[in-house]
Amino acid sequence: MRHAFRAQLDALHGGIANLCDHAGSAMDHATEALLQADLQIAEDVIDRYNDIAYLCTSLESDALVILARQAPVAGDLRAVVSSLKDVADLQRMGALATHVARISRRRHPAIAVPAEVADYFGEMGRIAVRLSEDTKNVVLARDPDQAAQLNVDDEAMDELHRELFAQVMNPGWSHGTVTAVDVTLLSRYYERFADHAVDVANRVIYQTTGKQQR
């Protein structure tokens, strides 16, 4: 029974790692669509969210089967429940990528962000992809030290978010209210994407060390 439980839990972690790939790829392509005003890529990101949602539903079902058949307790129970929360975070990350793609589609054929802030979003996209890759590695390795390193990229994302907000609020902003709203929302989507990745990593820290992260 113990061997079966470990095999099922490993398979669950493998599925979550796969979700990290899907979320990172979605945000990577959403960023490309945003900066190039590429309608086809934006549509693909939006359409492929169905794949992410399906994978999430499947993993949630797998986790519930483990709970029902294995009746885990203590740390094992915590691991399965944490996996359910991880799936929810990663589904949200996929949804945030679609939000970016929807703004790109809405403003097509124009580019949704002014040229002077485009580099901010390019960097946010790179950080988002890196966070997805690092989250995948953390999920598979269960390494709390590696998990803690995600906070560095999260802080970099937060700083970019603050800088973009300052740009929009600057009295010299000349791109109007609609664009200001788009930039603010887009920045928030990337910032929240990073937060969800860190939430997954923090659960790994808690599962392996018993210490809650703030």
Which pLDDT score is estimated for 214? 56
CA-wise closest residue to 5 among 93, 51, 57, 72: 72
Q: Which amino acid is at 209?
A: T
Quick one: pLDDT at residue 62? Answer: 93
d(CA 214, CA 203): 11
Q: Which fold has domain 2-209?
A: Methane Monooxygenase Hydroxylase; Chain G, domain 1 (1.20.58)
pLDDT digits (tens, 9 = 90+) for 126-139: 999 999 999 999 99
**Residue 76 has which token pair?**
């094992």
Backbone angles phi, psi at 111, to 5 degrees: -80, 130
Provide mean pLDDT across the span 106-115.
96
pLDDT of 180 over the 60 cut = yes
Q: Is the pLDDT of residue 150 over 90?
A: yes
pLDDT tens digits, one per residue of 23-48: 999 999 999 999 999 999 999 999 99
Is the confidence at residue 1, as pLDDT, over 70? no
Q: Where are the domains of the chain?
A: 2-209
d(CA 89, CA 91): 5
| pTM (2 d.p.) | 0.94
**Mean pLDDT value of segment 86-107:** 98
Check residues 66 and 56 and name the one with the higher pLDDT.
56
With 70 as the cut, is the pLDDT of residue 160 above it? yes
Task: Taking residues 111-115, report their average pLDDT.
Answer: 96
| Mean per-residue pLDDT of the chain | 93
d(Cα 95, Cα 6) in Å, to the nearest integer?
30
